[in-house]
Structures are given as structure tokens and as C-alpha cells.
Structure 1
Amino acid sequence: MAQSNLVRLAKRGDTIAIATLLNRAFHKQRVIVQVQLQGSCLKILLEGKPLPDQSQAIALIHQRMQRLQPERINSIQVYGRQPGATRPLWTEVRLLQGPTSPPDRETELSLQPIQPVEAQPVEEESHSHLQTSDRESTYPLTSRILTSPMSLQPRTIEARGMSALLTGFMLAVMLFVLGPLKVLFHGFLILVHEVGHAVTHWLFGRPAIPSVNLLFGGGITLVFGQSLWLIVLIYLGIAFLIYLCRSYPRLQGILVLLTLVYTVCLLTRTNTMLSTLMGHGMELVAIAVCLYFSTSGYFCRIPGDRAIYAMLGFFTLFSDMQFSWQLSHDADFRAWYEGGIGGMIDNDFVILANEYFGVDLSAIANMFLLGCLLAAAIAFLAFRYEAWWIRGISQLFQKQG
């Protein structure tokens, strides 16, 4: 995000913007900064090993805050703590001078001498307060990871999120019920499906192009032979990524583990199974991602984006649930599906059932139906318990050594 936009939001008292600016200021010292607004006092936690010098850190923060003159903030309370510790090594309070309102009673109380008691974690400002259009359009998920929230509290869907979900649900029902509109938006499913095939083929060294089946309708992915040079490039890219993560041992270890799993898949039939599976698999990903973006408001730039995300997520969910249900309970539909594309090319689930898993087609259909429900559930659970998994990711990006 542009520095000018961050400064503008920070002047308005936006705690995430302030945290982002302070994290940039302490980046070279490998210190993570977290903030919480309590009344008109901004509580700031510095966490790192080693911690910066107290006087220098306080002076830097005080200078930056004096320049910003953020609205509603009359004082700062700074803590210094080492990672994993429960008590701060030091703490200090400073008043901000400038054209701000006089300190309120809550601020006066917060400026009393601090006793050396158990340090309370600095909680992130409640998500229910993050309802400005600037917040939704400017701060995607990556900003939340960089600010490393400490408050492990479940999120609740605010009024605008509920309104977007309800609007998207109603629009999806209309699209699903009205035949012409359903056919029109079925193209979205075809695109997602074929992109899923193509991306997975590319990951395993097979160039692929998602396309439209002009003869029999629907989509088809044109797949070429596996290229040794492409696989070499993939491994070189992985090696370079692991090298870049040399200061993050936890992240580096996960990348090494994923590389081993990737190698096993590449050397076995698992890679072709995944390439076949990820057509419908990408539809499940689309359900989860669209519903998550709608619920959270991330990557929403204009009014109505959240409702559109919800509409696409619910439409994909309804279409996939209907497809799996018909495949299990409608004999005519199942016979048509087993007939393949033009009577020559087997459909994905037929290939998975016969060539890889050796089960009845209805078993694959039922698993896909369960996957549809899980995708929707995962979207809402990821939103509700966002603080937990974001904190886990942020810990992977903590430098060591």
C-alpha cells in the first residue's frame, strides 16, 4: 500500500495503519509492533529478540506519533517484551502534544505508574469497529498477517457482512432457479473447473490450456506431454524460494516438507489423479474463497463486491450440490454422465472411480457432496477463527538467527 494512504489513515486514528507504519520503522531491528486503542491512549507492544534500547525506541515512536497527530489519541503507552515472555521488560507512558482534545478520565487513569504485574496481551481493535469503506478496500488479508494480532478472539459477522451474504444468497437462488441465467453463469463454473485442471497439469510439468468444447459444449483442457525442462524449472524455483526463506527456519522446514510431498506425487500416479480431481476440486476452492471474501470484506474495492462474492460462492455451492445429488439418485443423469463426452472421453468422476479408487461412481459423488458442505463450513470457520491461523502464519515469518 502507498505510504501516503497509510499516513492519511494513520492521521485518522486507524490502528492497523499505525501498526503498519511502526512495523516498517522497526523492520531492520526485527521487532514486531502491535497496537491497541484504549480510550484515547494507544497501547504499543514491541516484541523482539533482542529488544531495541528503551530510550531510543520510545523516542522514535514518540517522534513518529507527534508527526502524525492521530485523531482521538492523546497518549501512548509502550511495552517492550521478548517473544514467549509473559511480562514486559520495560514500559513507559508519553503524552502527545498538539492540537488534540484534552485527556479524558480513562487516559488519566492509564497514565498512572504501572506496577510490575503480569502483562496482559495487547488486543487488536475489535473487528466490529472496522466498518469503513477504506478499511475493507485497503487492508487485505496480508496486512493482518503483517500486524500479527495477539488477541485470540473469534470474529463475528458485522451488519454489512450479513447483508452482503443475504443479498448474495438471494441472487444465487434467482440465478439457480431461472434457466437462462443459470446457463449464463454456468460459464463461470466451466472456467473455474478447467483452470483447476490446467494449473495442476502445469505444476506437474505438463503444459495445458483451458478451453471450450465447441463440439459437445462445456469445457475441455488441452494437455501436452510432460516436459523435463519445465520440471527442472519448477525445482529451481522451489530451491530459490527455500534459499530466500533461510532466515525463517519454520517456513523453510514447511517448504522442504512440501517439496518432498510434491516429489512423491510426481514420481507416482498421484500427480495424474490430482490433475483429474482438481477440476471439481477448484470449484470447492472457489466456494470457500468467495464466501470467505464476502464474509470478511477482504479484496472488496467497490460497494457490492461482497454481495457478488457471496452470489458466486452460493451459486457454485448450489450447482455442485445438485450435480452430486443427481449423480447419486437420478439414474438417467448418471447414465448420461457415464456415457462420457461425445461417447469418447470419460468424465472426471468416472475416471477417478474406475482407474484410481476402484469404487462405485455414487461413492465419489457422495464424497463431493460432503466436500461442498465442508468448503462452505471452512469459509466461515476460517473467518471466525482468523486470529488463530493468522498468528500461526505470522510466527512462520519471524526471523531467527
Structure 2
Amino acid sequence: MAQSNLVRLAKRGDTIAIATLLNRAFHKHKVTVRVQLQGSCLKILLEGSPLPEQSQAIALIHQGMQRLQPERIHSIQVYGRRPGATRPLWTEALLLEGPDSPADREPELSLQPRAIEAKGMGALLTGCVLALILFALGPLRVLFHGFLILVHEIGHAVTHWLFGRPAIPSVNILFGGGITLVFGQSLWLIVLIYLGIAFLIYLCRSYPRLQGILVLLTLVYTVCLLTRTNTMLSTLMGHGMELVAIAVCLYCSTSGYFCRIPGDRAIYAMLGCFTLFSDVQFSWQLSHDADFRAWYEGGIGGMIDNDFVILANEYFGVDLSAIANVFLIGCLLAPTIAFLAFRYEAWWIRGISQLLKKQG
């Protein structure tokens, strides 16, 4: 049947036409689509192995049904199931926005917590086991420690650049590890940063909520720039970027985002877990191992203080173990934040959509 005829029938609520169009849309995913109409609710069953990502499947169905606006159908229940299974792997409910709804109304996805699918759980377990092996074997551990050094020094460099200090992350050839080469603060670079912020605020003129947040962040940035807070943050964000890497890697592994080839999710999990294990051991030793603490307090080559020593002595005036304990808490929070961001993804996506709502 011609596409135009199918679309016309689908708009009238014909379930066969809707099923045909959905099967064509999911053909490249090797997924079979079945539909059933119960009252004003259209039930859609996606069956395949492997199933596409839940978020991708829901987005594809929602966009297609919004364009069709089928008669008599006001809600959709979507089920994802593997062939031969008796229970769905996941379900999600959608409400269709009618043509007479306000123009600025957002599509209403049901705010349901996401569950980790079997593929994501397998990737997490595989990555965790690989990370334990790397962590236990000395030569491999040294090799992958380079990932931590890269993340750490990039954290320093990015923060220095944000506060007008050109910086280059590099390897410390003399004493091992990494070091960030920092140059003097540039007035021209700070002016360019403020011009960029002003242009971004101008682009967001149709989004008053987002514009307000940008103005508030600009004020916070200015306070940091005019006080010692900016140098403190530049020192802190070496290890801080390691915590960010833990959360981002575990989130990508759990959700499957930014994964293009088989094994990507396990690699993300391995890098996240390896960083987590290394940072937990580092903070624990700094608090409980006197020899390790003495070595760390000795600095780099006996000339340059390490980050936590600088933070403890110059900025917070506390014992080094206090900084180490706070970092340990951060290590435990990073995977928790990654899991919560995945599980309650619909909530924070809706929050972002509210920020991006146009005025009027």
C-alpha cells in the first residue's frame, strides 16, 4: 500500500496502518511491532533481540504518533519484550498532545524511574571485573594509571583557562605523573570569556528561565574571579575531574549513551570503576597510612606541594586527613549520582525542558 494511503488510514486510527508504519520505522532495528487499541489507549508491543534503547524507541514512537494525531487515540502504552519472553523488559506510558492543546505545552511523558536493562547490567559487571584485574596486576595498573593522570591534569587546565590563565596539561618527565604548565592571567582572555557569556545570554533572550540562571552563574563566576576562590577551584579540580569521570563513565555504561560499537559500555564501566578503585585507595591511604602520607606531604621532587596539601594548608586550614576523608565521600557519591541520574532521567530532562520553554 502506498505511504500516503497508510498515513491517511493511520490518521483515522486504523491499527493495521499504524502497525505497518511502525514496522517500517523499526525495520532497521530488526524489531517487530504489534498494536492493539483498547478504548482511547493504543498498546504497542516492540519485540526483538536485541531491543533498541528504551529512550530511542520511545522518542521514535512519540514523534511519529504526534505527527499522525490518530483519531480517538489519546494515550499510548509501549512494551519492550524479547522474543519468547512472557513479561516485558520495560514499559512506558505516553500522552498524546492534541491539535487543540496550547502551543507551548510540553509532550507529557510519564515520570517513571528507569530500570537497568540486562545489557547495561552485564556491561557494568564486566567492566567492574576488568577494573579489578587491572587494579590487581601491577604492570597493567601502571599503564591505565595514565588515564587518571590525563583526567587529573585536564581538570586543572580547563579550570585555569576558565579563569583566564592559559594552561597546558603535560607529563612530569623528572618525577613521573603529570603536571600542568600554567601561564599568567590574561586580561584579553577574561574579556573574551565575558563577551562569550554576554553573547550566550543574548542568544537565550527567548528563554527567560535559562537566561536568569546564566546571569546568576555569571555573578558567581565574577565573585570567584575576584577572590582566591578561582585558584582554589583550579587546584581542586584535578581530583575533582576524576570524580566527574567516574560519574560520566558509569552513567554512559548504564544508559548506553555515546556507545557505538559492541564493548563500549563495558569499556566505560571499566574506566569508571578503575578510577573509583584508585581514588578510594588513594584517599584511604592518605588518612590511614603514615608512610604514604609522609611521602605525599613531601611534594613533587621536594619542591612542589601536592594538591591536597595546598588545599589543607593554604585555603581551608585543616588537617590533610580531613581533605582526604571529604574526597573519599566524593568517591562514594560519584557512582550514586550516576545511578540516580539514570534512574530519574525523566525528571531532570523535564526540568531542562522547562528551562528551555520560550516566553509567551
Q: Output the TM-score relative to the length of structure 1.
A: 0.66
Between the aligned partners of 2:55 and 2:254, the Cα distance in structure 1 is 43
Report the Cα distance in structure 2 between the residues aligned to 1:176 and 1:80, rounded to whole angstroms.
Answer: 37
8 Å CA contact 2:97, 2:107 repeated in 1: no
1:301-329: per-residue Cα shift (whole Å, max 9, x none)?
Answer: 01111100000000000000000000001
Change (3 A) 1:19 1:177: farther
Could you tell me how far 1:357 is from its partner in structure 2?
0.2
Q: Aligned with 1:33: secondary structure?
A: strand
Instruction: Report the CA distance shift for 1:48/1:306 in structure 2 as closer, same or farther (over 3 A).
Output: closer
Structure 1 Cα separation of the partners of residues 145 and 196 of structure 2? 36
Shift of residue 32, structure 1, vs aligned partner: 28
Q: Secondary structure at 1:100's aligned position in 2?
A: coil
Change (3 A) 1:315 1:178: same
Residue 348 (structure 2) pairs with residue 389 (structure 1)? yes
Closer, same or farther: CA 101–199 of 1 in aligned 2, 3 Å: closer
Q: Deviations over 1:114-137 (max 9, x none)?
A: xxxxxxxxxxxxxxxxxxxxxxxx
SS at match of 1:94: strand
Structure 1 runs not aligned, ≥5 long: 111-151
Residue 33 (structure 2) aligns with: 33
Distance 1:18 1:223, change over 3 A: farther
C-alpha distance 103-334 of structure 1, shift in aligned 2 (>3 A): closer
Distance 1:67 1:333, change over 3 A: closer
Equivalent pair of 1:40/1:72 in contact (CA under 8 Å): yes
Native 8 Å contact 2:94 2:109 kept in 1: no
1:200 shift after superposition: 0.0
Q: Supply the distance in 2 between the matched residues of 1:263 and 1:83 (Cα, whole angstroms).
A: 57
Distance 2:348 2:267 in 1: 26
Q: Partners of 1:56 and 1:334 in 2: how far apart?
A: 48
Shift of 1:236: 0.3
Cα root mean square deviation, aligned: 12.4
Quickly say closer, same or farther: Cα 1:243–1:89, change in 2 above 3 A.
Answer: farther
Alpha carbons 1:205, 1:228 under 8 Å: kept? yes
Instruction: Note the C-alpha offset of 1:153.
Output: 1.1
> Retained in 1: the 8 A contact 2:7–2:17?
yes
Query: What does residue 76 of structure 2 align with?
Result: 76
Counterpart contact for 1:49–1:83, Cα < 8 Å: yes
**Residue 80 of structure 1, CA deviation:** 27
C-alpha offsets along residues 240-286 of structure 1, whole Å, 9 cap, x if unaligned?
00000000000000000000000000000000000000000000000
Deviation at 1:393, TM superposition (A): 0.6
Q: Distance in 2 between matches of 1:13 and 1:326?
A: 65
Q: 1:252 to 1:108 in 2, by over 3 A?
A: closer
Q: Secondary structure at the match of 1:342?
A: coil
**How many residues end up aligned between the 2 structures?**
360
CA 1:233–1:349 in 2, change beyond 3 Å: closer, same or farther?
A: same
In 2, the alpha carbon distance for the partners of 1:54 and 1:172 equals: 27
Which segments of 5 or more consecutive residues in structure 2 lack a partner in the other structure?
none
In structure 2, the CA distance between the partners of 1:253 and 1:328, relative to structure 1 (3 Å rule), is same
Q: Could you say what secondary structure the match of 1:230 adopts?
A: helix
- Is the contact between residue 166 and residue 182 of structure 2 (CA under 8 Å) also seen in structure 1? yes
What is the CA distance between 1:31 and its match in structure 2? 30
Question: 1:61 maps to which residue?
Answer: 61
Q: Is residue 287 of structure 1 aligned with residue 241 of structure 2?
A: no
Change beyond 3 A, Cα 1:235–1:91: same
User: Which digits, 9 at most, give the CA deviation of each residue in 1:182-240, with x for residues without a partner?
Assistant: 00000000000000000000000000000000000000000000000000000000000
1:376, CA displacement in angstroms?
1.0
Q: Aligned partners of 1:311, 1:191: CA distance in 2, in Å? A: 16
Report the CA distance shift for 1:189/1:12 in structure 2 as closer, same or farther (over 3 A): farther
Question: Is the contact between residue 30 and residue 399 of structure 1 (CA under 8 Å) also seen in structure 2?
Answer: no
Q: 1:356 to 1:13 in 2, by over 3 A?
A: farther
Shift of 1:335: 0.5
Give 1:164 shift: 0.4
DSSP 3-state at the match of 1:105 = coil
Evaluate the alpha carbon distance shift between residue 25 and residue 255 of structure 1 in structure 2; reply closer, same or farther with a 3 A threshold: farther
Change (3 A) 1:157 1:89: closer
Check whether the contact 1:194–1:279 (CA below 8 A) recurs between aligned residues.
Answer: yes
In structure 2, relative to structure 1, the CA distance for the partners of 1:20 and 1:284 (3 Å cut) is: farther
